[in-house]
């Protein structure tokens, strides 16, 4: 085991001896070898150092998915920096909070956003801004092209930060989950073991890389195994079907599988060679699980993860992959069901909060020691906030959340932020935002609005007013109007009642 616990150094142990071995091929067929990756990530590491980024400094990145964006991630890790990926849908207003909180040494953004984000950077005292386009353009590349292709991975301890990912609760401000080199390396190792990845695998990668699923679960696992990827800029069902014959594994979100099932091109013969399909980031409906297996002969492996923990559990590679469950703890990870208030472990078959312990558990929330302390038991178990039950065969089933967090298309949406934007619209008295079952997105963000007395406001007006305030995935897919929002005796809005009233909105 290397003395240096830098994530990249640990991943490097799995790289093939022959540097000419394929690492990535694009949808168009261009091939990028492991040696190409080593050279390019070294150039990025050198470029970052030349821009004043030192070990422990944050590098905030809001760019399109591309090979260069992936090399920027690897270069930042090699340089000992803390990588901070940001959803490309976030608005400048949203970025103001993230940059002000994280205080990065460098912001890398899309060329088209430079004017707006340079102002945000000045406002938040970010010292440097560079650009990187998905088409191989941008000011950062001028630094990369003049940097050397040799770089010694900066020495890092296992507990040093490798990344910060911002996550959402249902109330309050976003929290920066601090992920260490141990967190990310241990999770990649566990997934290689659980899903049997080897150097012979080629993964079809159509996930975004500003999210833990595409950036860490997929990329780090492939690197740890010395395997390869077909790297697509985005998910397109017909392109995926055309390229599946060149891959033997795929990681996706439920939306991917729902859309693939709508295509007549998805046949049993097309995927007969495939080794494994996995799904995560949002609940996979039993109906999609069953239909996919009947159509293709493959049972999707559903797993359970969080921004704060990486992957925690998985349905088995060998054994029954049960629809509606997320399987068993991954190697080295402990799961228990506990009473939310007392922390007492509950017996098999009882519903309680899911608690997790293992080397994958994050270090805490960035600059939120009190919030971090609230989320951990004294014995080190992390309180997930998800409600679950373990059955008599050991399978974990997630039955809900103790908060009202919405997961739409794999992205976290917390209602309080959306409600604040809607409540600011003239004519709105108050709003309640809920998640409803959606065949494509898992949950559809939905607003229920009570108008001010004597005022009139319609659905399109509300959607138009918030379009520049919130990322697209946070914006409601429907807005409904009521005279008065339902409340209990204590005055709390009854979102459960609203969810029941509108539950068939997207499923009819």
The pLDDT tens digits of the residues spanning 198-207 come to 999 999 999 9
pLDDT in tens, 204-247: 999 999 999 999 999 999 999 999 999 999 999 999 999 999 99
Q: What is the pLDDT of residue 195?
A: 98
pLDDT in tens, 400-458: 766 677 889 988 787 878 988 998 999 998 899 999 999 899 999 999 999 988 888 99
Q: What is the pLDDT of residue 169?
A: 47
Q: Is 273 helix (H, G, I), strand (E, B) or coil?
A: coil
**φ, ψ at 427 (rounded to 5°):** 100, -15
CA distances from 176 to 60, 100, 362, 407, 412 (A): 12, 12, 10, 18, 13
Break the chain into its structural domains and give their ranges: 7-234, 276-401, 406-501
Q: Which two tokens stand for residue 155?
A: 């020495």
As a whole number, mean pLDDT of residues 449-476 equals 92
Q: Which two tokens stand for residue 430?
A: 């108050």
Residue 146 has pLDDT above 70, yes or no: yes
Q: What is the pLDDT of residue 473?
A: 94
Residue 464 is given by DSSP the state H
Of the candidates 238, 208, 239, 227, the residue with the CA atom closest to the CA atom of residue 276: 227
Q: What is the pLDDT of residue 445?
A: 96
Of the candidates 74, 71, 61, the residue with the CA atom closest to the CA atom of residue 131: 61
Of the candidates 449, 455, 502, the residue with the CA atom closest to the CA atom of residue 480: 449
Q: What is the pTM of this model?
A: 0.87
pLDDT level of residue 462 (50, 70, 90 thresholds) = very high
pLDDT in tens, 267-317: 999 999 999 999 998 888 888 899 999 999 999 999 999 999 999 999 999
CA contacts within 13 A on the Cβ side of 184 = 37
Q: Which two tokens stand for residue 245?
A: 């014959």
Among the four given CATH numbers 3.30.365.10, 1.10.1040.10, 3.30.300.30, 1.10.1060.10, the one describing domain 406-501: 3.30.300.30
Summary count for the chain: helices (H), strands (E)? 16, 25
Q: Is 399 helix (H, G, I), strand (E, B) or coil?
A: strand
Q: What is the DSSP string of 169-186?
A: -SSSS-EEEEEEHHHHHH
Q: What is the pLDDT of residue 415?
A: 84
Q: What is the pLDDT of residue 489?
A: 53
d(CA 428, CA 450): 6
Q: Cβ of 436: how many Cβ atoms within 10 Å?
A: 22
Class of domain 276-401: mainly beta
pLDDT in tens, 353-379: 999 999 999 999 999 999 999 999 999
d(CA 290, CA 273): 20
Output b/e per residue, 446-466; b: 16+ Cβ within 10 A.
bbbbbbeeeeebeeeebbebb
- Percentage, residues of the chain above pLDDT 90: 83
Q: What is the pLDDT of residue 403?
A: 67
The alpha-carbon radius of gyration of the chain (Å, integer) is 23
| CATH, domain range 7-234 | 3.40.50.12780
CA contacts within 13 A on the Cβ side of 336 = 16
Average pLDDT over the chain, rounded to whole? 94
pLDDT level of residue 399 (50, 70, 90 thresholds) = confident
pLDDT level of residue 170 (50, 70, 90 thresholds) = very low
């Amino acid at each position: 085991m290397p003395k240096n616990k830098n994530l990249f150094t640990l991943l490097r142990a799995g790289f093939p001896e022959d540097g000419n071995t394929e690492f990535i091929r694009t949808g168009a067929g261009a091939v990028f070898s492991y040696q190409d990756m080593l050279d390019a990530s070294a150039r990025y590491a050198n470029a970052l150092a030349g821009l004043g980024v030192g070990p422990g400094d944050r590098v905030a990145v809001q760019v399109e998915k591309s090979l260069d964006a992936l090399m920027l991630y690897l270069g930042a890790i090699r340089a000992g920096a803390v990588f901070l990926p940001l959803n490309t849908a976030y608005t400048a207003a949203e970025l103001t909070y993230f940059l002000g909180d994280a205080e990065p040494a460098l912001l890398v953004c899309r060329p088209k956003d430079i004017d707006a984000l340079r102002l945000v950077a000045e406002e938040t005292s970010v010292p440097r801004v560079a650009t990187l386009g998905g088409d191989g353009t941008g000011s950062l590349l001028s630094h990369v092209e003049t940097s050397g292709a040799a770089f010694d991975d900066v020495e890092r301890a296992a507990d040093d930060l490798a990344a910060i990912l911002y996550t959402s609760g249902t109330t309050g401000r976003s929290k920066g989950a601090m992920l260490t080199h141990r967190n990310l390396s241990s999770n990649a190792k566990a997934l290689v073991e659980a899903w049997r990845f080897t150097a012979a695998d080629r993964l079809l990668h159509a996930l975004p890389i500003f999210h833990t699923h595409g950036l860490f679960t997929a990329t780090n696992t492939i690197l740890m195994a010395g395997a390869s990827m077909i790297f697509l800029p985005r998910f397109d069902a017909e392109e995926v079907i055309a390229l599946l014959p060149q891959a033997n594994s795929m990681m996706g979100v439920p939306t991917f599988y729902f859309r693939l099932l709508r295509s007549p091109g998805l046949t049993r013969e097309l995927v007969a060679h495939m080794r494994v399909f996995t799904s995560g980031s949002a609940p996979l409906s039993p109906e999609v699980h069953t239909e996919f297996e009947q159509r293709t002969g493959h049972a999707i492996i559903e797993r359970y993860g969080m921004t704060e923990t990486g992957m925690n559990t998985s349905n088995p590679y060998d054994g029954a992959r049960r629809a509606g469950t997320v399987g068993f703890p991954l190697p080295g990870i402990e799961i228990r069901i506990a009473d939310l208030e007392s922390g007492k472990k509950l017996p098999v078959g009882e519903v309680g909060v899911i608690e997790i312990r293992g080397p994958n558990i994050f270090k805490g929330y960035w600059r939120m020691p009190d919030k971090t302390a609230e989320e951990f038991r004294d014995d080190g178990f992390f309180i997930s906030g998800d409600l679950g039950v373990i059955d008599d065969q050991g399978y974990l089933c997630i039955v809900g959340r103790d908060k009202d967090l919405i997961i739409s298309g794999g992205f976290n949406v917390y209602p309080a932020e959306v409600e604040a934007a809607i409540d600011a619209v003239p004519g709105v008295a108050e709003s309640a935002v809920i998640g409803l079952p959606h065949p494509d997105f898992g949950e559809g963000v939905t607003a229920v609005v009570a108008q001010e007395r004597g005022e009139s406001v319609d659905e399109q007006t509300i959607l138009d007013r918030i379009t520049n305030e919130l990322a697209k995935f946070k914006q409601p897919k429907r807005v409904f109007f009521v005279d008065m929002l339902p409340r209990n005796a204590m005055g709390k809005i009854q979102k459960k009642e609203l969810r029941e009233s509108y539950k068939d909105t997207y499923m009819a």
